A and B are shown apart, each in its own frame.
Chain A
Amino acid sequence: MGEWRATAASMEDPEISSISHVTMSPSRHNHVSVYSLPLSKSSYSVISAFCAEDNVPRCITYLNQELSSLGLSVCIEAGSPEGASLNAVPAINAMYELLQIHRQNMCTLEEMEEEQLKKLSTLEHMQTSNSRLKDQLELLIREKSGLHETERQLQLKIKTLQSCLKTEKEEVQKLQSIIASRASQYSHDAKRKEREASKLKERLSQLLVDRKEKKLAIDVLNCLGRSDGKRSLWRTAKLTASHESEMYKTLLGDYEASQKALLLENAELKKVLQQMKKEMMHILTPRQKSTSGASADDSQQQVDSDEAKAGDTSREALDQSCELAREQLLNSIRQQWRKLRNHVERLDQASQVQNQMESNKETIPLETHDDEMERMRQEVQQCREFIHAQQQLLRQQLNTSFDDETAALLNDCYTLEEKERLKEEWKLFEEQKRNFEKERNNFTEAAIRLGREKMAFEEDRAAWLKNQFLNITPFTDRRRCSSSDGQSALSIRSEPELRMSSAKAKRSKSPTYTTFSTPKPSRSSTVPSTTELYRTLRILSDSSLSKHSTQARWRESSTIENRHPRIKSNIQAHTGGAAAPFRGEHKQSEGFAGGCGPAAVLLAECLAGSSAHWSVLQHQPLQAAESLLLLVKLHSSLAFN
Chain B
Amino acid sequence: MNFSEVFKQSNQLCKVSPDGKYLATCVQYRLVVRDVSSLQILQLYTCLDQISHMDWSSDSLFILCAMYKRGLVQVWSLEQPDWHCKIDEGSIGLVSSRWSPDGRHILNTTEFHLRITVWSLCTKAVSYIKYPKACQKGIDFSRDGCYLALAERRDCKDYVSIFVCDDWHLLRHFETETQDLAGLEWSPNGCVLAVWDSCLEYKVLLYSLDGRLLSTYSAYEWSLGVKSVSWSPSSQFLAIGSYDEKVRILNHITWKKIVQFEHPAAIDNTKATVYKEVERRPAVVSEELSLHNITMGSTLFNTQSKYEICSLPVQIPVVKPDPDRANPKIGVSVLAFSSDSRYLATKNDNMATAVWVWDMQKMSLEAVLEHTSAVRCFLWDPRRPRLALCTGNSKLYLWSPGGCVSVQVPVEGGFQVQSLNWHCSGDSVILLGKEQLCLCYMDTDQEENS
B189 within 8 A of A: yes
B171 touches A243 (CB 8 A): yes
Given contact pairs A246-B164, A251-B209, A219 touches B86 in the complex (Cβ within 8 A): yes
A204 touches B121 (CB 8 A): no
B59 touches A227 (CB 8 A): yes
The chain B residue with its CB closest to the CB of A191 is: B156
A224 within 8 A of B: yes
A223 within 8 A of B: yes
A201 touches B114 (CB 8 A): yes
A224 proximity list for chain B (CB < 8 A):
104, 121-122
A254 within 8 A of B: yes
A23 within 8 A of B: no
B318 within 8 A of A: no
B146 proximity list for chain A (CB < 8 A):
246, 250
A235 touches B167 (CB 8 A): yes
A194 touches B121 (CB 8 A): no
B154 proximity list for chain A (CB < 8 A):
198
A250 proximity list for chain B (CB < 8 A):
146, 190-191, 209
A233 touches B167 (CB 8 A): yes
A195 touches B155 (CB 8 A): yes
| A65 to B: closest C-beta gap in Å | 117
The chain A residue with its CB closest to the CB of B110 is: A205
B91 touches A213 (CB 8 A): yes
| B210 to A: closest C-beta gap in Å | 6
Given contact pairs A204-B92, A205-B114, A218 touches B209 in the complex (Cβ within 8 A): no
Once bound together, how far apart are the Cα atoms of A12 and B118, in whole Å?
151
B113 proximity list for chain A (CB < 8 A):
201
A228 within 8 A of B: yes
Most interface-central of A218, A226, A228, A239 (chain B CB within 10 A)? A218
Residues 93-119 of B, flagged 1 when their CB comes within 8 A of A and 0 if not, give: 000000000111000000011110001
A225 within 8 A of B: yes
B92 proximity list for chain A (CB < 8 A):
204-205, 208, 216
B153 within 8 A of A: yes
A232 touches B123 (CB 8 A): yes
| A444 to B: closest C-beta gap in Å | 101
Once bound together, how far apart are the Cα atoms of A262 and B254, in whole Å?
13
Once bound together, how far apart are the Cα atoms of A219 and B73, in whole Å?
10
A369 within 8 A of B: no
A220 proximity list for chain B (CB < 8 A):
84-85, 121, 124
B153 touches A194 (CB 8 A): yes
B300 within 8 A of A: no
A457 within 8 A of B: no
B209 proximity list for chain A (CB < 8 A):
247, 250-251, 254
B88 within 8 A of A: yes
Once bound together, how far apart are the Cα atoms of A195 and B154, in whole Å?
8
Within residues 194 to 222 of chain A, which ones have a CB less than 8 A from any CB in chain B?
A: 194-195, 197-198, 201, 204-205, 208, 213, 215-222
A542 within 8 A of B: no
| A189 to B: closest C-beta gap in Å | 11
B445 within 8 A of A: no
Within residues 106 to 154 of chain B, which ones have a CB less than 8 A from any CB in chain A?
A: 112-115, 119, 121-124, 126, 130-131, 146-147, 153-154
Given contact pairs A219-B88, A243-B171, A226 touches B164 in the complex (Cβ within 8 A): no
| B48 to A: closest C-beta gap in Å | 11
B210 touches A235 (CB 8 A): no
Once bound together, how far apart are the Cα atoms of A191 and B180, in whole Å?
11
A226 touches B88 (CB 8 A): no
B59 proximity list for chain A (CB < 8 A):
227
| Interface residues of B, count at CB 8 A | 47
| B116 to A: closest C-beta gap in Å | 12
Most interface-central of A201, A227, A228, A257 (chain B CB within 10 A)? A227
B114 touches A204 (CB 8 A): yes
B114 proximity list for chain A (CB < 8 A):
201, 204-205
Once bound together, how far apart are the Cα atoms of A232 and B121, in whole Å?
12
A243 touches B121 (CB 8 A): no
B287 proximity list for chain A (CB < 8 A):
none
B112 touches A204 (CB 8 A): yes
A216 touches B119 (CB 8 A): no
Once bound together, how far apart are the Cα atoms of A65 and B121, in whole Å?
168
B169 touches A226 (CB 8 A): no
A240 within 8 A of B: yes
Given contact pairs A195-B155, A227-B103, A218 touches B119 in the complex (Cβ within 8 A): yes
B167 touches A215 (CB 8 A): no
| Interface residues of A, count at CB 8 A | 41
A337 within 8 A of B: no
A235 proximity list for chain B (CB < 8 A):
167, 169
A248 within 8 A of B: yes
Within residues 238 to 271 of chain A, which ones have a CB less than 8 A from any CB in chain B?
A: 239-240, 243-244, 246-248, 250-251, 254, 257-258, 262
Instruction: Give the residue of A191, A218, A232, A243 whose beta carbon is less than 8 angstroms from that of B164.
Output: A243
B323 within 8 A of A: no
B164 touches A223 (CB 8 A): no
The chain B residue with its CB closest to the CB of A200 is: B112
Given contact pairs A191-B156, A221-B82, A208 touches B91 in the complex (Cβ within 8 A): yes
Once bound together, how far apart are the Cα atoms of A257 and B92, in whole Å?
45
Within residues 176 to 194 of chain A, which ones have a CB less than 8 A from any CB in chain B?
A: 190-191, 194
Given contact pairs A195-B156, A205-B114, A218 touches B122 in the complex (Cβ within 8 A): no
| B404 to A: closest C-beta gap in Å | 35
Once bound together, how far apart are the Cα atoms of A218 and B88, in whole Å?
6
A228 proximity list for chain B (CB < 8 A):
102
B84 touches A221 (CB 8 A): yes
Once bound together, how far apart are the Cα atoms of A593 and B319, in whole Å?
117
B304 within 8 A of A: no
B191 touches A254 (CB 8 A): yes
| B56 to A: closest C-beta gap in Å | 13
The chain B residue with its CB closest to the CB of A217 is: B88
B169 touches A194 (CB 8 A): no
A205 proximity list for chain B (CB < 8 A):
92, 114-115, 130
A223 touches B123 (CB 8 A): yes
Once bound together, how far apart are the Cα atoms of A262 and B87, in whole Å?
49
The chain A residue with its CB closest to the CB of B252 is: A258
Once bound together, how far apart are the Cα atoms of A205 and B114, in whole Å?
7
B86 proximity list for chain A (CB < 8 A):
218-219
| A144 to B: closest C-beta gap in Å | 51
B164 proximity list for chain A (CB < 8 A):
243, 246-247
The chain A residue with its CB closest to the CB of B82 is: A221
Once bound together, how far apart are the Cα atoms of A201 and B154, in whole Å?
12
Once bound together, how far apart are the Cα atoms of A235 and B85, in whole Å?
26
Within residues 61 to 104 of chain B, which ones have a CB less than 8 A from any CB in chain A?
A: 82-92, 102-104
A225 touches B122 (CB 8 A): yes
| A187 to B: closest C-beta gap in Å | 8
A247 proximity list for chain B (CB < 8 A):
147, 164, 171, 209-210
The chain B residue with its CB closest to the CB of A265 is: B253
Once bound together, how far apart are the Cα atoms of A194 and B180, in whole Å?
12
Most interface-central of B83, B87, B102, B166 (chain A CB within 10 A)? B166
Once bound together, how far apart are the Cα atoms of A239 and B82, in whole Å?
36
| A230 to B: closest C-beta gap in Å | 9
Once bound together, how far apart are the Cα atoms of A528 and B386, in whole Å?
95
B103 proximity list for chain A (CB < 8 A):
227
Instruction: Give the residue of A194, A213, A219, A225 whose beta carbon is less than 8 angstroms from that of B156.
Output: A194
Once bound together, how far apart are the Cα atoms of A205 and B89, in whole Å?
12
Given contact pairs A194-B156, A205-B115, A232-B122, A218 touches B87 in the complex (Cβ within 8 A): yes
The chain B residue with its CB closest to the CB of A221 is: B83
B167 proximity list for chain A (CB < 8 A):
232-233, 235, 239
Instruction: Give the residue of A195, A201, A248 whose beta carbon is less than 8 angstroms from that of B112.
Output: A201
B252 proximity list for chain A (CB < 8 A):
258
Known: A204-B92, A248-B210. 13 other contacts (CB 8 A): A215-B91, A216-B92, A218-B88, A219-B84, A220-B84, A222-B83, A224-B121, A225-B122, A233-B167, A243-B164, A243-B169, A247-B171, A254-B191
17 intermolecular pairs with C-beta atoms under 8 Å apart: A194-B156, A201-B112, A205-B92, A216-B89, A216-B90, A218-B85, A219-B85, A219-B86, A220-B124, A222-B83, A223-B123, A232-B123, A239-B169, A243-B164, A247-B209, A250-B190, A250-B191
